[in-house]
Structure 1
Amino acid sequence: LATDSVVVYSDKAEVRRVLTVVLPKGTHEIVIKNVSAVIERESVRVDGKGVLIQEVQYQEMQVDSEQETEKILILEREKVIAENERFAAEDEISLRTVTGSTICHESLQEPSSIGFLATSDALSNLMNFLAFYGETVSSMKRTLRLKQREWEQYSEKIEALERQIDHLRCGNEYDSVKRCWFLQTIM
């Protein structure tokens, strides 16, 4: 609600709020939600121009914290599943990294004799090996990149779930009462 004016006294403050509503003729109920917890109910005055205010009611409703807690538990379970998937992707990344470095290390060892490469069979075998090695390494790197992207997606999902859980917990942490004003009017 828009604030019209504020007058501060030594022991209290008077805050005038303005609510402009255009409604057709008839009986209407106006609901003002999320009223402050520190407001004194007896101090509230409701004025209206061009309307007959029949009744003003203040109502407090307990928030169903069990439902919020259930939502938190569901999100926590989703988070654990996502973390397990991320750990599996992480394990596969480290396995592929170790396997790739082992293949590279074994292939870079010095040949035992230079004379070995002089034969045409050895040369064609070497060419076949290098072609196979190149395809294998390319495939491994491609798979490794896919797993890294998968790991990043799980990390983002976990962060989003943590934000949702924090948001729900913060909502439960403060005030568990919803306060509303109900105005019965005739236009």
Structure 2
Amino acid sequence: MALDHALLVSLLEKPSSGYELARRFDRSIGYFWHATHQQIYRVLSRMEAADWIAAEVEAGATAPDRKVFTVTAAGRAELSRWMAEPVEPEGTRDALMVKLRGAAFGDPHALITELEHHRAAHANRLTAYRVIEARDFSGALDPQRALQYMVLKSGLRFELGWLEWCEEALDLLRSIKQVKRRKTK
């Protein structure tokens, strides 16, 4: 997926300035599609040149003027075209998995600290998702919000799965460490 399409979806949800888009990416969309502020501004410029979005300058009374972007008919057509394309499931490319396999040839204890770090990071992300869920998705949801909630549910399940996997991997590493310790005695 290109950042272009994530921005088109975001702008269809709510016309925004580049700054507002960057903040939304930091707070929610970025959990699923990461982009730096510089990338967002660069892509907005390219999308504007392609006529996928249009900008209207809003004069600021107490703040500087800002460009608010909206999606044009050409942008909607591009999003429709992209949405009709099949998407293959993405594979996992994770150095941690290679390290875990390599633990059979080294000290598995060295990975325990790293796995504990991963477990904590996934627990923190799960907590953030649950805060978003409680704040934004209680009660009846219109179709747009229901679809946004489905994306969040995917993130919740992903983090829960990682936490479960981390616990299982940590248990295995600890048991291997104990077996190796007994063999050296």
TM-score (structure 2 length as normaliser)? 0.36
The one of the two structures with greater contact order (alpha-carbon pairs below 8 A, sep at least 6) is 1
- TM-score w.r.t. the length of structure 1 is 0.36
Higher-strand-fraction structure = 1
Q: Greater helix percent: which structure?
A: 2
